Amino acid sequence: MAVCENRLQLCVGENAMKSTVVCCLLMVLGAMAAWALPSAVDGKWVAKIQTKRGARELVLNLKTDGDRLTGTIDRGSRETEIADGKLDGDQISFTTTRKGKKRTVKTFWTGRVEGSELKGTRRREDGKHGRAFKALRE
């Protein structure tokens, strides 16, 4: 009887180990597949924002590489590079710096991807309050 009990314990132990290995492999393969897929953020987004001069259209061209976000914002006649871009799940953040005639303006952008919408806020470095924006995937 002691021999059967030992074999039963060995058999159960081996099955548990095999199950653990298979689960770990599936998790690793799933993570690799998710890493290889393009991010939900990648692509062209069109936003309408309010400025002191009225409504303006911005085109955000975004690209991710892992948790790093790069791209440009096209303001019609000007294109600005994105800096310090980060992706954390469906959350994004980045900065832009635009040189004007009198001063340089740094803007902090944060947002969240919700399907085909990118909603967030933009705040100037010297500003206390952020302004909302909503961009649609084009």
pLDDT tens, position by position, 20-31:
655 555 565 454
Look at residue 83 in the predicted model and tell me its pLDDT.
97
Based on the fold, state whether residues 81 and 133 are members of the same structural domain: yes
Based on the fold, state whether residues 75 and 29 are members of the same structural domain: no
DSSP letter, residue 39: P
Based on the fold, state whether residues 17 and 75 are members of the same structural domain: no
Based on the fold, state whether residues 21 and 88 are members of the same structural domain: no
Query: How many structural domains is the chain composed of?
Result: 2
Based on the fold, state whether residues 87 and 108 are members of the same structural domain: yes
Based on the fold, state whether residues 119 and 63 are members of the same structural domain: yes
**Pseudo-torsion of CA 129, 131, 132, 134, nearest 10°?**
-150
pLDDT along the chain (138 residues), means of 10: 52 60 54 50 92 88 95 90 96 93 92 94 87 93
**Domain limits for position 18:** 1-37
Instruction: Give dist(CA 112, CA 118) in Å, integer.
Output: 6
Based on the fold, state whether residues 4 and 50 are members of the same structural domain: no
β-strands 104-114, 43-51: how paired? Answer: unpaired
Based on the fold, state whether residues 32 and 50 are members of the same structural domain: no
Quick one: how far is CA 104 from the chain centroid?
27
Side chain identity at 64, as an amino acid letter? T
Based on the fold, state whether residues 58 and 10 are members of the same structural domain: no
Task: Indicate yes or no: pTM above 0.85.
Answer: no
Based on the fold, state whether residues 65 and 126 are members of the same structural domain: yes
End-to-end CA distance of the chain: 71
